[in-house]
Structure 1
Amino acid sequence: MRGRSSVVVLNDFYKDFIEEHDKFYLAFSFFDLMEYDRAALSVQDCKNKKAYYLHMYGRYLADGKRKLDNAPDSFGPPDKLENGHLKTLKTELAKKYAITELDGFCIYLYGVGLKKLDLLKEAIEVFVDALLALSLPNHWMKHFFLGHIYLELQLNEEGLKIYQHLMDKGFVKSSYIVSQVAMAYNNMREVDMAVNAFTELTEMDPYRLENVDYFSNTLYIKARRCLVHQINPF
Structure 2
Amino acid sequence: MNHGLVDIDANSEKFVFSEVMLQDIAPAEYDNYFLAKCYFDVREYDRAAYMVRNAESAVPRFLYLYATYMGLEKRRLDSTTDQSNLNDSGHVKDLADLLATLKPSIQGRLDGYSMYLYGVVLKAVDLTQVAQEVLMQSIRSAPMLWGSYVELAPLIKEKEKLQNIHLGGHWMKHFFVAHTYIEMYLNDEGIKAYEDLQTAGFGKCVYVTSQMAFGVSQQK
Normalised TM-score (structure 2): 0.63
SS at match of 1:110: helix
Q: Once the 2 structures are TM-superposed, how far is the Cα of residue 65 of structure 1 from its aligned partner?
A: 1.3
Other-structure match for 1:55: 64
Does residue 149 in structure 1 map to residue 157 in structure 2?
Answer: no
Does residue 160 in structure 1 map to residue 190 in structure 2?
Answer: no
CA distance in 1 between counterparts of 2:196 and 2:76 reads: 45
The superposition leaves residues 26-52 of structure 1 with CA deviations (integer Å, 9 ceiling, x where unpaired) of 101000110000000000011112111
Supply the RMSD in Å over aligned alpha carbons. 3.3
SS at match of 1:91: helix
Once the two structures are superposed, the pairs formed by residues 108-147 of structure 1 within 5 Å of their partners are: 108-134=116-142, 136=144, 142=172, 145-146=175-176
Once the two structures are superposed, the pairs formed by residues 41-52 of structure 1 within 5 Å of their partners are: 41-52=50-61
Q: Once the 2 structures are TM-superposed, how far is the Cα of residue 144 of structure 1 from its aligned partner?
A: 8.7
Aligned sequence identity (%):
26
SS at match of 1:28: helix
Q: Is the deviation greater in 14-23 or in 104-113?
A: 14-23
Q: Which has the higher contact order (CA 8 A, sep 6+)?
A: 2
Task: Answer yes or no: is the 8 Å Cα contact 2:119–2:131 preserved in 1.
Answer: yes
CA distance in 1 between counterparts of 2:109 and 2:196 reads: 39
Of 77, 80, 102, the residue aligned with 2:110 is: 102
CA distance in 1 between counterparts of 2:87 and 2:143 reads: 37
Q: Once the 2 structures are TM-superposed, how far is the Cα of residue 131 of structure 1 from its aligned partner?
A: 1.0
CA distance in 1 between counterparts of 2:28 and 2:202 reads: 44
Task: Answer yes or no: is the 8 Å Cα contact 1:147–1:159 preserved in 2.
Answer: no
Normalised TM-score (structure 1): 0.59
The superposition leaves residues 194-223 of structure 1 with CA deviations (integer Å, 9 ceiling, x where unpaired) of xxxxxxxxxxxxxxxxx5x97xx5xxxxxx
CA distance in 1 between counterparts of 2:85 and 2:198 reads: 40
CA distance in 2 between counterparts of 1:15 and 1:176 reads: 30
Other-structure match for 2:18: none
Alignment: residue pair count:
169
Q: Once the 2 structures are TM-superposed, how far is the Cα of residue 89 of structure 1 from its aligned partner?
A: 2.2
CA distance in 1 between counterparts of 2:179 and 2:59 reads: 27
CA distance in 1 between counterparts of 2:124 and 2:213 reads: 36
SS at match of 2:53: coil
Change beyond 3 A, Cα 1:61–1:180: closer
SS at match of 1:20: helix
Q: Is the deviation greater in 58-67 or in 151-160?
A: 151-160
**Structure label with greater radius of gyration:** 1
Identify unmatched segments of 5+ residues in structure 1: 1-12, 187-210, 218-234
CA distance in 2 between counterparts of 1:77 and 1:61 reads: 18
Q: Once the 2 structures are TM-superposed, how far is the Cα of residue 84 of structure 1 from its aligned partner?
A: 3.5
